[in-house]
Amino acid sequence: MPCRNLVSWNAKLTAHAKRGHLEESKALFDRMPERDVVSWTAMLSAYSQNHNLSKSKQIFDDMPCRNLMRNEGFSPDEAAFTCVLLSCIHKGNVKIAHSFFYSMIFDHGLSASKQQFGCVIDTLGRAGHLWPAEDLIRQMPFEPIAKDWICFMGACNNHKNVDAAARAAQCALDLDRKGAATYVLLRNVYCEKP
């Protein structure tokens, strides 16, 4: 790049990251003379989209806000936290998901989005923590939609919990009587019942 500024570095980094070129992304990231939240989030996103929780967590922990750069106004934004939470889903790592979710709210003063609640719910469900997942759906500050309950039903099916799946199906059907996915998934739950 003939004229390199932070915007051009970030554009190139984001392009590599979106194509899944992790080694090139990391090498470029390491060569950047300066970084901002966009730079850090691009790396988080690259690792998150490639289901690499350990690298995603490492990048997050290395973010300047975790040390002296906090005084300069660097703080992870909602996108950074969402990337880490998405990584947690694929690894089913409840401990890390909870840690980052609560850090986002209490340490950084950010409000959790519906997507971030969904990430935590999905992580809990995949890990077999069905009661806390169901409770979080009911307690989140957003009105659940049928899709929330259908996703939870998938976790119930994976963990062979027919009772929880039936409760979720009822909630999904209360919100969308014509939703074919609810009926199909409920049928699958009962067909696989031991």
* CA distances in angstroms from 106 to 23, 102, 109, listed in the order given: 33, 6, 5
Q: What confidence category does residue 82 fall into, taking pLDDT thresholds of 50, 70 and 90?
A: confident
Q: What pLDDT score was predicted for residue 1?
A: 47
Q: What pLDDT score was predicted for residue 2?
A: 56
Residue count of the chain: 194
Half-sphere exposure of 114 (CA within 13 A, CB side): 7
Q: How confident is the model over 116-137, as pLDDT tens digits?
A: 999 999 999 999 999 999 999 9
CA 128 – CA 92 distance, rounded (Å): 9
Q: How confident is the model over 17-62, as pLDDT tens digits?
A: 888 888 888 888 888 888 877 788 788 778 877 777 778 777 777 7
Q: What confidence category does residue 141 fall into, taking pLDDT thresholds of 50, 70 and 90?
A: very high
Q: What is the pTM of this model?
A: 0.68
